[in-house]
Structure 1
Amino acid sequence: MIVSDIVELDKKRSKVYIDGEFAFVMYKGEFREYGIKLEAEISEETYDSIITVLLPKRATKRAMNLLQKRDYTEAKLREKLSEGLYPSDAIDAAIDYVKSYHYLDDERYARDYITYHMPTKSKNRIVQDLTNKGIKKDLLIPILEEIYEEEDDDPESSQIEALLQKKHYSKELDYKEQQKIIAFLLRRGFSLDKVKRVINSVSE
């Protein structure tokens, strides 16, 4: 195996090509450590060490750093690591590690998201948001139903009513202001029919 090209990504990292194909990304210090040089031969032992030891270790460290700053779903964390050009095996190793210590937990993420956004977003909007973040519906729907069952019989109507109060909605507002508030509720994922029913009930 021959190092056919080294392409700088930034001041710290470069892409390494072996036999004409992209292989991995290395930091400057790692080039010296592993003896990687342009047009030099790379032994199978060195290559295997980079692929099975160095990159999984670095991907895991990167995953930990990301999770210290904010919570991620598994899908979004995989996406973030892919942006760093880590190979799939290194990403799998990093994901397995952080999941084993529950630093990454899609169920916990979904529960926290639902609980936090229930007062301001519709159930449909929450489902849409979480599926866009990579939460699978077979995990999400039972959690959603469980949490909503603990609330009152019609949580969405209560949410709409609370948001109407927050926006100081009243039938005395002019038409344009009323429509602005209704549009706000629709953007939150509530249906027009339900919004109108709640408005009619609070206006009586």
Structure 2
Amino acid sequence: MIITKLERIENGKGKIKVYIEGEYCFILYQKDLNNFRIEENTDITETQYEDIYINTVLRRAKQKALAILKYMDRTEQELITKLKQYGCTETLINDVLEYINKYHYIDDYRYAANYIRFRKNSKSKRQISMELSQKGIAKEDIEQAFADEYDEEDTAIKTAIAKKCRNLDILTYEEKQKIAASLYRKGFKMDLIQKYLKHNL
């Protein structure tokens, strides 16, 4: 295998993209190039490649993934996005995910359940569901998390209304219409909105 290109990343703190046979493979630092004696237009054996990939590239990618997950729970899709930004190839990301999933460092159902638990008293079910979908969580995990964590929307809609007005009796018909429209856009059902706006719409 021929190392066809070494591309220094601008403002990449010494990171260098390594291309083999014209294909981007991974990122190394200058000290790595020196240690492994890597130069453009030189041969690299499969044994050397595997050693670099497993003991340097994959090891660092695993450490990066753990650092990403250390202070905040993430969905699998969010972790994939972060690893892509770090410069990981699809193959490398898959190898990292295999390791991460093996030890249950990420769990989309767990993420969805926690997300619902902390937002169910202030957001509608539809809004939460949409936000979880945007985070790449599978429909099955979202539905199971709702079944386990979500009750009725009464508390959420009362909280949402209270944020807009403490005393509904002083509102005009037009003001109540605006609140109702806002709540409806956030995913609350109209019959529930009317119930807590005292049927005065």
| Fold similarity call, TM over 0.5 | yes
Gaps of 5+ in 2: none
Query: What is the 5 A alignment of 1:11-50?
Result: 11-50=13-52
Instruction: Give me the whole-angstrom Cα distance separating, in 2, the residues matched to 1:186 and 1:53.
Output: 54
Computed over aligned residues only, the root mean square deviation of the Cα atoms, in angstroms, reads: 2.3
2:119–2:128 contact (8 Å) kept in structure 1: yes
1:93 is the counterpart of 2:91:
no
Secondary structure of 2:170's counterpart equals coil
Displacement, 1:3?
1.7
Amino acid at match of 1:95: L
Q: Are residues 161 and 134 of structure 1, via their aligned partners in 2, closer, same or farther at CA, if it must alter by over 3 Å?
A: same
Amino acid at match of 2:183: L
Instruction: Give me the whole-angstrom Cα distance separating, in 2, the residues matched to 1:69 and 1:157.
Output: 32
Q: Any idea what the Cα deviations from partners look like across 1:102-151, whole Å, max 9, x if unmatched?
A: 32121211111000110111111111111111111112212212222xx3
Secondary structure of 2:116's counterpart equals helix
Amino acid at match of 2:126: N
Residue of structure 1 in register with 2:126 after alignment: 124
Secondary structure of 1:3's counterpart equals strand
Secondary structure of 1:11's counterpart equals coil
Secondary structure of 2:57's counterpart equals helix
1:6 is the counterpart of 2:6:
yes
Total equivalences in the alignment: 198
1:161–1:198 contact (8 Å) kept in structure 2: yes
Indicate which of 183, 186, 198 corresponds to 1:185. Answer: 183
Amino acid at match of 1:17: Y
Instruction: Give me the whole-angstrom Cα distance separating, in 1, the residues matched to 2:173 and 2:32.
Output: 65
Indicate which of 58, 69, 72 corresponds to 1:70. Answer: 72
Q: Percent identity?
A: 32
2:26–2:87 contact (8 Å) kept in structure 1: yes
Displacement, 1:88?
2.8
Secondary structure of 1:200's counterpart equals coil
Q: Any idea what the Cα deviations from partners look like across 1:65-113, whole Å, max 9, x if unmatched?
A: 1011321011211221122221333222322323333321212111110
Gaps of 5+ in 1: none
Instruction: Give me the whole-angstrom Cα distance separating, in 2, the residues matched to 1:176 and 1:28.
Output: 66
Query: What is the 5 A alignment of 1:103-118?
Result: 103-118=105-120
Residue of structure 2 in register with 1:55 after alignment: 57
Tell me the TM-score normalised to structure 2 length.
Answer: 0.85
Secondary structure of 2:91's counterpart equals helix
